[in-house]
Amino acid sequence: MNPKRIVLTGGPGTGKSSIIKKLESYGYPCLEEISRKITLQAKTEGIEQLFLEKPLLFSQLLLEGRTLQYHEGLKHKNSFVFYDRGMLDVIAYLDYFQTDYPEEFQTLCKKHTYDLVFILPPWEEIYIQDNERYENFEEAKRIHNYLERTYKNYTYSPIEVPRLTLEVRVEFILEKISNLV
């Protein structure tokens, strides 16, 4: 039986990666966010902000990487596999930046579905800008809205994770997924 695919999404700086690390420490298979890797690789090739300079190329690379992650999830023998962002995040970000994209992007997202989506709301107290996270907090809130709308447009019902301690957030997620078994 294939593991249930669980996506953690939300705007930048909402605590997704911290939750993923905690879930990993509990023994759950987790597939990390790959956008930073792609951004850092582009920097070594002389492109300072690949998403801003070549948004379609960046998004294509993200979709390719997330498609590989989607299939990699099948290799796990656990009941659940967690993804730090899903394929639909690419569509949401392109829509946010009002960037046209090929229909193939939507086709890929419709073909690769997830069992459950958790969305982490903007949280100013934990938000930090850095070299790869260039959005300010107001932009992060707008991105959150695009993410939520995009997932809903593709018939998902994202479950909002409360703004509580890391441990409580993880327990909230684990309690919700127990209903999937």
Tens-digit pLDDT profile for residues 41-86: 888 888 777 777 788 988 999 999 999 999 998 888 889 999 999 9
Place of tokens 């800008």: 129
Residue type, 105: F
Is the pLDDT confidence value at 124 over 90?
A: no
* pLDDT tens readout for residues 25-50: 999 999 988 887 887 788 888 877 77
Give the model's confidence band at 139: pLDDT under 50 very low, under 70 low, under 90 confident, else very high. confident
**What residues form DSSP beta bridges with 117?**
7
Give the model's confidence band at 181: pLDDT under 50 very low, under 70 low, under 90 confident, else very high. low
Compute the distance between CA of residue 101 and CA of residue 160 in angstroms, rounded to an integer: 28
Compute the distance between CA of residue 179 and CA of residue 181 in angstroms, rounded to an integer: 6
Compute the distance between CA of residue 154 and CA of residue 169 in angstroms, rounded to an integer: 25
Is the pLDDT confidence value at 130 over 80?
A: no
4-175: CATH topology: Rossmann fold (3.40.50)
Could you tell me the residue ranges of all domains in the chain?
A: 4-175
Give the model's confidence band at 137: pLDDT under 50 very low, under 70 low, under 90 confident, else very high. low
- The backbone region for 129, taken as left when phi is positive above 0, alpha when psi lies in -120 to 50, beta otherwise, is beta
